[in-house]
Structure 1
Amino acid sequence: SSGQPTSWYWQITPSTYNFVGGTNDSSQFPIITFTATGNYTVSLTATNTYGSDDTTQYQAISVGGATLPFVEDFESGLSGWEIINPDNGMTWSSATVGGTTPGSSVMTVGHYSYSTSGAVDELVSPLLDFSNDTLVSMTFEYASAFYSSGYSDSLKVYVSDDCGIMWAEVAAWSSADANFSTAGQLTSSFVPNDSTKWCHGNSFVACPSINLDAYSGKSGIQVKFVAINGYGNNLFIDNINITGQSQVAPIASFTGDSVGCTGQTLNFFDFTTPTPAARTWYFQGGTPSTSNAPNPSVTYGAAGSYDVKLVVSNAAGTDSVTLSNYVTITPAIVSSVALSVSGTMVCKHDSVFASATGTNGGLIPAYDWYINGTLVLSGSSTFSGTFNDGDVLKVAMTSSDDCVSSKVVSDSVIINVNPLPVVTLSSQGYVCELGGPQQLSGGTPVGGIYSGTGVTNDSIYPLLAGVGSHWIYYTYADATTGCSNMKQRTLSVQPAPGKPSVSQDATTGELVATTPAGFYSYEWLDANMNLIAGATSATYLPTANGDYYVKIISNIQCSNVSDVYSVNNIGLEEELLAGFEIFPNPATNLLTIRTTGEAELRIIDAAGRAVLETNITSSLDLDVQGWARGAYIVQFIKGDAIEILPVMLK
């Protein structure tokens, strides 16, 4: 017993027994001697501080052996039989063959593959009780072949009347005997496949019948079949039947389940002594309504009280017993289970949570979960998993209450799984650290959402993301199914070049950009951060006082801008002459000069020679391709005012 019981109460039926060794019916481990042969039913009630529980084992103990008739067809295994295998080699074993009834299970020894000549293997019966019988005899069926006269096997039958201490031989055969072998000589491994290979269907041999009358009136009997190996061919036996003629008329007696509910199985047990040769049960209102089995099982379809009758007989007489209203049946309660899930319409890869709620499942209901009929989980009232479209999820509840209309009930749902949308995202390339927010693109289908470090409203903010590689995620949700899918690509935030600085050449008045190491292009910007036309070199000559910036651009088009540089050293006359413009500077092939109004123009080379003197109105384009490379001074003369601008040819 489990649950730490503190007291026990034993009941044994019939009462032909005594407690010994200082034990009694309240001992945890009682010791008992029996004063009569027969089958005994044992009941135990165990109790602790929380209550009590009882159990009954019908015909749990057999004393003196099984009474006659005794039939063994091996369809239920070796119940009570013993195999003795002294050499631990091949021995008696169960096999499935053809030609024998009922069923197809037999016992066999594989002599064909058993090379140990002279090896002995025994098949020993359970204890038998012949005490109430006379004219006892035994029959059995067999199938046998022999390999050759030099390789034949033997079968012997022995009987013991002292529980297996001493044995007496009662029959013996050789497989080569013409009146024993059912298949004759056979050099391949013999296995019977129809009734002609068995003694009961063979016209040349007869099944053995062994007279055991010398053991009539005794108990503690055992029979054994001994196979002696000769490396011949295989032997099979089945349907052992021991019968006798009863000397005392049986006294009918039975017990069984007396309380149940509709649909519940009730078990009944024949306690007749001695064991009858024939019996018939009558179950009022039951299914079946009659039975010849010693321990039948019966169900009742309607509530009420019902009689049970047992009629028994043997050669010495007949007896019967009827117990009125022995069985009381109440209506079975209805059990059910309800399955609820987190959703029956889900997206691929989504987990579905399911729970089972049982009604009338008893104290310990058992739950089993199935997907498309395959068991996937036992023991829990909840389940979680992923599914394919159309999968059937079923939960089955087995009630621990015996009195229910259906012991096992179930509920199921179909899970519909929608596919995920097909989402793509093209390469995201790179952005520059100081490049400002960049609109992300490349995700399909359109209408999805971009996310990731530094991403807001589908734009990436490089300064917020930081220099380095970042995952960009594009998520699209199907408006019809609600299912979403995501693709991801890396985007690189490239570092900006170091901040440039601006200084002014004291001689020429040019603004000079100082940059970190590397190769850059340049853009000069005015106070409003607007690009100054043509100002794309590392130097710039301002024409008016004001604020200026230089922007440098790396070879991957990442840029940085200097701090503001203020120019305030251009004189009054220069300001009056403001509006002169020369570009490009430095120049290579063509030099464009522009001014407002009309002015005298003079260009002087590095040696102080005037290489050009002319008047200019609005603009002048000079072909300088053939001029010497180097520095030149351009003079604009208006009245008494002179504006000097340097220019470089390269």
Structure 2
Amino acid sequence: GNVFQSTVGGQFTVQMTDNLGCVFKDTFNVYIDSLKLQLSLGNDTNLCYGNTISPISGTNLIKTNWWEPSNDTTLYTTIIGSGNHIINATSYNGCTASDTILINVIGIAPIVGFVTNNVCEKNITIFTDTSTTTSGDSLISWNWNIANFPTLNSSVVSVTIDSAGTFPVLLTVSSSNGCSNTLQSQLVVNPLPIPNFIVDGTCLGEYSYFTNLTSVLGSYTSFWSFGDDSISNIISPTHVFQSLGFYNVKLISTSSYGCVDSISKSVEIKPAPTANFDFSPVCLGNSTYFFDLSQTVPIFPILIWNWNFGDSNTESHQNPNHTYSTTGQYNVQLFIQSLNGCTDTITKIVTVSSPPMAGFIGDSACVGTPINFIDTSYALLGTISKWNWNFGNGNTSTSSSPIVTYNNTGNYTVTLTVTSDVDCINSAIKVIPVYSNPTADFVSSVSIGPPPLAVNFTNNSLDAIYYYWDFGDSEQSQLYSPLHIFADTGNYTVWLKVRNSHGCVDSTNNEIKVVPEIYDLALLNLETTINNGYLSAIIKIANQGTMSIVNPQLVLNTNKNTPIMENYQETILSGETKEYNFVSQIPVSENNMPSFICVKGSLSNGKTEVDYTNNEACKVLIQNQTLLSLFPNPTDNKLNINLNIKAAENSKLEIIDKIGRVVYSNYINMVVGFNHIEIDVSSYSKGKYTLRIT
């Protein structure tokens, strides 16, 4: 075939025609590898031990290379001695080339190095030379080429790079032996962190939550200053400010590369409301009223109330009410928010108690008989602290077990309202029937008598079914109308107690006197009146014995008429005094006026009296007369003398026997009117005696 040769590259077209006259044409590009033309190490030169050499051209065409005599395979090699240094290179097209340079070593080059501090954008970066030389040599010059800054010529230099990134740094140092060396490096400038934060909760006494929004490459640390001498190194801290006002809060963020930036914000701490509430008694099934007691400053009123009653129910009114359906303890929470956005929350334990179980004992009552109502109420939790009774008759009580008396029959509605120590309330109601009482009554066949005294008791009680007798002598009976015999003397109070079908009771008593059989009728006082010429007499009769006096006989006598006997148809009990008006009247006139009137009494049953001296009473009707009455006469015991004296005097009384001896002599102080004298003559001998009064 045909061969085409060219020494330059370019686009070429080839056309081929076969023996049939068919034509094929194609275009192609030819590239000429210029490595052999461009690869050069430069002219032979003097260098120092430790310097490096590299191609001065053609490096962009080299794919691989190796050096002689060092066998390095990098684009540069370090001079370690005088002589030829050869680079052998292969291009990307596979073409090869080589170049040789003769190096004459004139000394030892310094070893170049430097250090920097933390390299951060917008901060001063200090470059400090750390290059060294062989013994006896010294560094005499420095040339810094940093990024696009002008060349700097000091061992320590500084620059401020305004943006993050990677920047070239070239340091060339020269020593006193005439050698120099260069270090080329890449400077990484780190970005500053971008600090930022937000704060949630700027109310006095509450937690302020600081959220760190710092933007940074890698990790970072934070330092907070809250403007009130408080600090923190937490990334997103919380803090409680103790006073109102504005605080300059500063956040300093430091990246993991040591780059630092900060931000300050003014935070206003506003007054916060104080949540509080109270509640009414909490009783199962009853409404509990919650009272908001929260406080706030007037210019920031509370706008929001959120209640959580602890049983999945909520409310947003300021003063709500709520009814619990189950007993137990509930955490009731009140959340409030004022106009400035500040909030507060308080939680209190609310104990829901069952209402007390109200009840009392008391089913019926009797008129006039106190009934004791006994409280039987109890509280499942706690105790009963208050009782309020309404007895249905206008009376009330706050006692736990009061006593009340109903004065009339009827049905009375009694209501007991009890309150527990947690102020839960319940009531019990009963209708109390009030029944009439029976009437106890009886009479006895006798009320006084000597032992053994048999007494028949006749029961006259009404509306009673049960009877109980107490005879006062340790004997009892439940008969309707019993007979009882009193064996000994004494005063016995006999009680009859009765009860009806409703349990109502009544009682009554009579006295039975069992006494020795002593009779003594005494006439105490005699009064007279004269009307229309007739004299009427009234006598007081006393029973001074132990036995009753029945129908005593009374004899009225004057010195002018025959005795008049009348029977007093009455029973005079022991110790009793009665008056008797004589039925008979005595005619009198001025010329026919008795000088005295006497009444003498005696028993109708023939019983013997213990004292007869008091059986007669007299009255002087004419005052200038002296009455001398002796009784009994004859006598062997007591001699009774009745006298009517016109003037008071000291009279001498003498009794003289039949031979003239004075056997009795005594002075008696007489009073005007009637005088009674009693002399004991039981020791005198039988016979006739003369009474002399002087």
Above 0.5 in TM-score?
Answer: no
Which structure is higher in RCO with an 8 Å CA cutoff and minimum separation 6?
A: 1
Question: Which is greater in Rg?
Answer: 2
User: Please, what TM-score do these two structures have when normalized by structure 1?
Assistant: 0.31
User: Please, what TM-score do these two structures have when normalized by structure 2?
Assistant: 0.29
